[in-house]
Structure 1
Amino acid sequence: MNDAPHGRSAAFHVLSTGYTTSTGPGVAATVSLVLDGELRIVFDPGMVAHPSAILDPLADLGLRPQDVTDVVLSHHHPDNIMNVGLFPHARVHDYQAVYRGDQWTDRDAEGFALSESVRLIRTPGHSREDVTMLAGTPEGVVAFAGDLWWRANGPAEDPVAPDRGQLTASRERVLAVADLVVPGHGAPFVPDASTPR
């Protein structure tokens, strides 16, 4: 099965590059924006030093919080979701449902397409609820992988992963289609033979 989106019309911007060397203190999420047609998708609006670390780069792109149509959460750890409330009009997607206002619509994230160029896949490993968003861009497929990788070098052994086998399988699944990976707490990287599996 090929997980890559069929379309190649999406574009992306990293709004805030995250960081961590261990589990706290001083953790920030990598927060990204994906644009495709009318969609304005923020991925993992998590912990940052101040909301301006997300909102100022968004404003530099000519967007206000109310312009964001969708928020995708890779998983439910606080460091990846802390600022979801900045986008009160957006549909919020996780592994099991779409939420908006007081509406909760069940649906499995596996294979859910936000557009021809943007889709979600279930990638458990760092947590049992992990989701990766795949965006087809003119340059290739970008995988917004949450904490499957915290940064380019891993960690190779995720200290909070509930199942090492699941983590490896999900990493391999993402690497089979990704030309670029945006990790949970670091800069985007091009995967290669040294990328932790």
Structure 2
Amino acid sequence: MATTTARLDVLSIGYAHDRVASTCTLVRDGDAVIVIDPGMVANRALLLQPLADLVLSAQEVTDIVISHHHPDHTVNIALFPNAKLHDVMATYVDDLWLDHEPGDFTVSPAVRLVATPGHTDQDVSTIVQTDDGLIVLTHLWWGAQGPAQDPFAADVAVLKASRDQVLALEPALIVPGHGAPFAPNGSTPR
């Protein structure tokens, strides 16, 4: 039986210093065109031009996933008028609020969401199966170098448990909330 895999492209690499922008990613899986964390950027063209470079328009995006409800990860949701929105507890379509149990939720055959509280209690990580291995898009890490302890985490033990859960999946790459993708290793903060 063949394993379904998706293609992942980073649209914009985020940062969190004197200014803030979320890392925004595109995943294509069959007919699903999924944008993860279309949040703050210095200019909206930083999201739309990479899409155009991939011969896609904002209208072709079918789904949006937000890792959590902070504005730096959500402010540009409206750029994608035809997309369903997914978070840790529901899917939103037009005026429909479709609850689902927190935990595993399938967006497409190679893309699923997993509840991973830590940065906030409502965090979700996006798990993507690609030809290059498993990739996890998550705000459990801000970037490859940390911070080791998330300054917003209300419960460090919960953050550590979610990080351990993600690392147990043995991802080839982690796409953090505010940095470039990185390959986890023994020095990845837990």
Unaligned runs of 5+ residues in structure 1 are 1-5
2:29, 2:109 within 8 Å by CA — same for their partners in 1? Answer: no
Corresponding residue for residue 3 of structure 1? none
Q: Tell whether 2:119 aligns with 1:126.
A: yes
2:40, 2:72 within 8 Å by CA — same for their partners in 1? Answer: yes
Displacement of 1:118 in angstroms is 0.8
Question: Structure 1 CA distance, aligned partners of 2:32 and 2:76?
Answer: 19
Q: How many residues are aligned here?
A: 188
Determine which structure has greater relative contact order: mean sequence separation of CA pairs < 8 Å that are 6+ residues apart, divided by chain length: 1
1:95, 1:129 within 8 Å by CA — same for their partners in 2? Answer: yes
Displacement of 1:117 in angstroms is 1.0
> Matches of residues 108-123 of structure 1 in structure 2 within 5 Å?
108-123=101-116
Corresponding residue for residue 49 of structure 1? 42
**SS of structure 2 residue aligned to 1:158:** coil
Question: Structure 1 CA distance, aligned partners of 2:105 and 2:95?
Answer: 21
**SS of structure 2 residue aligned to 1:195:** coil
Corresponding residue for residue 172 of structure 1? 164
Displacement of 1:8 in angstroms is 4.1
Displacement of 1:115 in angstroms is 2.2
Report the TM-score when normalising by structure 2: 0.96
RMSD after superposition: 1.1
> Matches of residues 144-183 of structure 1 in structure 2 within 5 Å?
144-145=137-138, 147-177=139-169, 178-183=171-176
Displacement of 1:93 in angstroms is 0.2
Q: Tell whether 2:32 aligns with 1:39.
A: yes
Same amino acid, percent of matched pairs: 51
Corresponding residue for residue 6 of structure 2? 10
2:37, 2:65 within 8 Å by CA — same for their partners in 1? Answer: yes
- Residue deviations 1:111-144, cap 9 Å, x none? 1112221111000000000000000001100000
Question: Structure 2 CA distance, aligned partners of 1:88 and 1:172?
Answer: 36
Q: Which stretches of structure 1, 4 residues or more, deviate above 6 A after TM superposition?
A: none
**SS of structure 1 residue aligned to 2:136:** strand
> Matches of residues 59-98 of structure 1 in structure 2 within 5 Å?
59-98=52-91
**What amino acid maps onto 2:163 in structure 1?**
R
- Residue deviations 1:19-43, cap 9 Å, x none? 113xxx4001100000000000000
Displacement of 1:81 in angstroms is 0.7
Unaligned runs of 5+ residues in structure 2 are none
1:121, 1:131 within 8 Å by CA — same for their partners in 2? Answer: yes
Q: Which one of the candidate residues 120, 123, 135 is aligned to 1:142?
A: 135
Question: Structure 2 CA distance, aligned partners of 1:190 and 1:170?
Answer: 17
